[in-house]
Amino acid sequence: MRPFTYERATDTQTAVTSVSRAGAKFISGGTNLLDLMKLEIERPTHLVDISRLPLKGIDDLSDGGLRIGAQVANSDLAAEARVRSRYPVLSEALLAGASGQLRNMASVGGNLLQRTRCPYFYYETADGCNKRDPGSGCAAIGGFNRTHAILGASGACIATHPSDMAVAMTALDAQIELLGADHTTRRIAIGDFHRLPGDTPQIETVLRSGEMITAVILPPPPPGQQRYRKVRDRASYAFALVSVAAIVAVEQGTITTARVAFGGVAHKPWRSVEAEAALTGRPATMATFRAAAEAAMANAVGRGHNDFKIELAKRTLCRTLAQTAQAE
Amino acid sequence: MGTSITAETKAGGVHTAELALTINGRVQRLELDTRTSLLDALREHLHLTGTKKGCDHGQCGACTVLINGRRVNSCLTLAVMHQDDEIVTIEGLGSLDALHPMQAAFIARDGFQCGYCTPGQICSAVGMLAEVAAGWPSHATEDVASPRIALTDAEIRERMSGNICRCAAYPNIVDAIRDVAEGAPR
């Protein structure tokens, strides 16, 4: 690990000022950043510890939504009674991620900023990775790519985003609140927060230099039942091969509202408006679910080892929708 | 303003910080390279070697300690981040003369073979039972909205998935944890 100086921020305004210097980075739970610093993939020269900032509230909003402070621990958010009763898909997604120890450390803001677990980014550093070393190529294309993206990838990068939490937040239409280095705030829809890789896979979000995530805003829950389903190589404590967050309302056998987001398939949490359009107004039957799955994966591209993920994503969506619609 | 921790830059561009850590009820004053993980501070500087280094990447759980009563991986956090926290290691849970009930249960149930993962397993299990007592759901919980948790074997296994045992003493670890959860006299 490279040497760095450290300061503990006590308020948000000085934190964004402190992080504006060259080489500075925020640290919160540290579960991803320190791991990457040990591997010298991340090399900050100054750390601004924001884990003690007063951003740990989970507050009711007047519209029936919820404002989640960016420093809320993943475990606290998953265990929060209002989340469990009104946004169970979010609790389920959080609980499907990482381990008990990591969820106790990891913050909501940090979870959104997790970096990919592509082995060529993380471990096989002798091989090319445009994310780690822009311009060096993508060793996953033509290499070992069993876990890689099937949607929205580019010739420069086929990495996936590792978060479960963000997939549920995408289905819930969350907004991300940001505080800028100029001390102004702005809100970004979560669907616009993470970027597709394109030619610049090293730029993963629309965060500006010095900007800090201060909160995640959940609008009131949409009607219907919510469910998160994750498929992985182990029963617990593994990243998703494919995951699905589904919210479905059924009235008299007809789907009236549908929200679908996938995890493990793209460089960002993948909202499928195609699947939602194929579900809305249709009978809640397996034929409809299958049609939605085909629509969701119409543009999916396999890279060899990960070809199976296309069919796996379809089946996972069908199974999740069947369970969700049945519970309605 | 920022931190109360004083920092100094040493030869070779290494930065150090003076800090006070509260470990097992005792305040320990240290001057550490800012890069020092809590795990390395415990083992290499305070010689509390009960906490083990396995993978050093948060994947095995051998380094699990309790911070303010919560289980965490001490390898993935910096010592300088824990001024003002209450840290408890396996040495602080119990002693040879007065074992913690979880330590006694691991012995009674033979919940280990080589023993390397055991301090982490025990600290994790103690933190985990506190989470259950607080009504936290898990991935094994059928209905996350339910306020009550039935601590089945599936629940114990899911909740302990952050602790790897390469000797695979898992059945006996589950038995030991269930004994403590049920308050079994042993």
At B21-79, the pLDDT tens digits run 999 999 999 999 999 999 999 999 999 999 999 999 999 999 999 999 999 999 999 99
Residue B1: the pLDDT is: 40
Whether domain A225-327 has CATH 3.30.390.50: the reply is: yes
Nearest neighbour of B145 by CB, restricted to A9, A85, A237:
A85
pLDDT value at B157 more than 70: yes
Are residues B118 and B89 located together in one domain of the fold? no
Three-class HEC string of chain B: CCCCCEEEECHHHCEEEEEEEEECCEEEEEEEECCCEHHHHHHHHCCCCCCCCCCCCCCCCCCEEEECCEEEEHHHCEHHHHCCCEEECHHHHCCCCCCCHHHHHHHHCCCCCCCCCHHHHHHHHHHHHHHHHCCCCCCCCCCCCCCCCCCCHHHHHHHCCCCCCCCCCHHHHHHHHHHHHCCCCC
Residue A125: the pLDDT is: 85
CA of A52 to nearest chain B CA: how many angstroms apart?
9
Report CA A322 to chain centroid distance, whole Å: 24
CA A319/CA B41 separation, integer angstroms: 48
> Sign (positive/negative) of CA torsion A192, A63, A90, A16?
positive
Domain boundary among B65, B93, B121: B93
Both tokens assigned to A243: 């995951």
Residue A296: the pLDDT is: 98
Reference B72, options B27, B130, B28; nearest CA is B130
Domain count of the fold of chain B = 2
Residue B13: the pLDDT is: 84
Are residues B85 and B108 located together in one domain of the fold? no
Q: Is residue B83 part of a domain?
A: yes
pLDDT band at B2; cut points 50, 70, 90? very low
Are residues B70 and B135 located together in one domain of the fold? no
Residue B10: the pLDDT is: 77
One-letter amino acid at A77 equals: L
Asked if residues B33 and B14 have their Cβ atoms less than 8 Å apart, the reply is yes
Phi-psi region of A30 (alpha: psi -120 to 50; beta: other; left: phi over 0): left
Measured between beta carbons, which residues in chain B are less than 8 angstroms from residue A29? 77
CA of A200 to nearest chain B CA: how many angstroms apart?
28
pLDDT digits (tens, 9 = 90+) for A32-58: 999 999 999 999 999 999 999 999 999
Are residues B106 and B81 located together in one domain of the fold? no
pLDDT value at A180 more than 80: yes
Measured between beta carbons, which residues in chain A are less than 8 angstroms from residue B57? 35, 38
Asked if residues A225 and A328 have their Cβ atoms less than 8 Å apart, the reply is yes
Residue B102: the pLDDT is: 98
Q: In this complex, do B35 and A3 lie within 8 Å of one another by their Cβ atoms?
A: yes
At residue A49, the 3 state secondary structure works out as strand
Q: Is residue B141 part of a domain?
A: yes
Cβ within 8 Å of residue A274, ≥6 positions away: A292, A295, A296, A298
Q: Is residue B1 part of a domain?
A: no
CA A6/CA A9 separation, integer angstroms: 10
> What is the extent of the structural domain holding B82?
6-93
Nearest CA in chain A to B8: A5
Residue A192: the pLDDT is: 98
Domain boundary among B77, B93, B109: B93
Q: In this complex, do A79 and B81 lie within 8 Å of one another by their Cβ atoms?
A: no
How many beta-carbon pairs below 8 A join chains A and B?
Answer: 140
pLDDT band at B185; cut points 50, 70, 90? low
Asked if residues B110 and B70 have their Cβ atoms less than 8 Å apart, the reply is no
pLDDT digits (tens, 9 = 90+) for A193-241: 999 999 999 999 999 999 999 999 999 999 999 999 999 999 999 999 9
Are residues B83 and B107 located together in one domain of the fold? no
Residue A323: the pLDDT is: 95
Q: Is residue B186 part of a domain?
A: no
Are residues B165 and B87 located together in one domain of the fold? no
pLDDT value at B184 more than 70: no
CA B32/CA B80 separation, integer angstroms: 8
pLDDT digits (tens, 9 = 90+) for B81-99: 999 899 999 999 999 999 9
Measured between beta carbons, which residues in chain B are less than 8 angstroms from residue A4? 15, 34-35
The DSSP output letter for A235 is: S
pLDDT digits (tens, 9 = 90+) for A237-296: 999 999 999 999 999 999 999 999 999 999 999 999 999 999 999 999 999 999 999 999
Are residues B130 and B52 located together in one domain of the fold? no
Domain boundary among B93, B121, B147: B93
Reference B159, options A321, A282, A79; nearest CA is A79
Are residues B85 and B110 located together in one domain of the fold? no
Q: Is residue B12 part of a domain?
A: yes
CA B121/CA B157 separation, integer angstroms: 12
Residue B11: the pLDDT is: 74
CA B11/CA A31 separation, integer angstroms: 29
Measured between beta carbons, which residues in chain B are less than 8 angstroms from residue A119? none
Q: Is residue B163 part of a domain?
A: yes
CA A37/CA B118 separation, integer angstroms: 28
CA of B55 to nearest chain A CA: how many angstroms apart?
11
At residue A193, the 3 state secondary structure works out as helix
Q: Is residue B116 part of a domain?
A: yes
pLDDT digits (tens, 9 = 90+) for A78-124: 999 999 999 999 999 999 999 999 999 999 999 999 999 999 999 98
φ/ψ of residue A77, rounded to 5: -65, -40
Beta strands at B15-23 and A225-231: parallel, antiparallel or unpaired: unpaired
Mean predicted lDDT score pLDDT of chain B: 94
Are residues B85 and B10 located together in one domain of the fold? yes
Q: In this complex, do B80 and A6 lie within 8 Å of one another by their Cβ atoms?
A: yes
Strands (E), chain A: 5-8, 24-27, 46-49, 58-60, 66-69, 175-179, 185-189, 212-218, 225-231, 242-251, 254-263, 270-271
Are residues B124 and B156 located together in one domain of the fold? yes
Q: Is residue B147 part of a domain?
A: yes
CA of A320 to nearest chain B CA: how many angstroms apart?
15
pLDDT band at B6; cut points 50, 70, 90? low
Residue B5: the pLDDT is: 63
Residue A104: exposed, middle, or buried by beta-carbon count in 10 A (0-12, 13-18, 19+)? buried
pLDDT over 70, % of chain A: 99
Instruction: Output the domain CATH number for residue B76.
Output: 3.10.20.30
pLDDT value at A164 more than 90: yes
Reference B67, options B48, B51, B85; nearest CA is B85
Instruction: Output the domain CATH number for residue B110.
Output: 1.10.150.120
Beta strands at B15-23 and B86-88: parallel, antiparallel or unpaired: parallel
The DSSP output letter for A29 is: S
Are residues B86 and B29 located together in one domain of the fold? yes
pLDDT value at A310 more than 80: yes
Delimit the domains of chain A by residue range. 5-52, 225-327
Please tell me the CATH code under which domain A5-52 is placed: 3.30.43.10
φ/ψ of residue A95, rounded to 5: -70, -20
Reference A217, options A270, A171, A177, A168; nearest CA is A177
Measured between beta carbons, which residues in chain A are less than 8 angstroms from residue B17? 6
Asked if residues A26 and B57 have their Cβ atoms less than 8 Å apart, the reply is no
Q: In this complex, do B61 and A101 lie within 8 Å of one another by their Cβ atoms?
A: yes
Per the listing, tokens 């509390």 go with B48
pLDDT band at B9; cut points 50, 70, 90? confident
Both tokens assigned to A168: 């549920």
Q: In this complex, do B162 and A95 lie within 8 Å of one another by their Cβ atoms?
A: no
Answer whether A5-52 and A225-327 agree in fold. no
One-letter amino acid at A192 equals: D
The angle formed by the CA atoms of residues A154, A186 and A153, to the nearest 5 degrees, is: 5
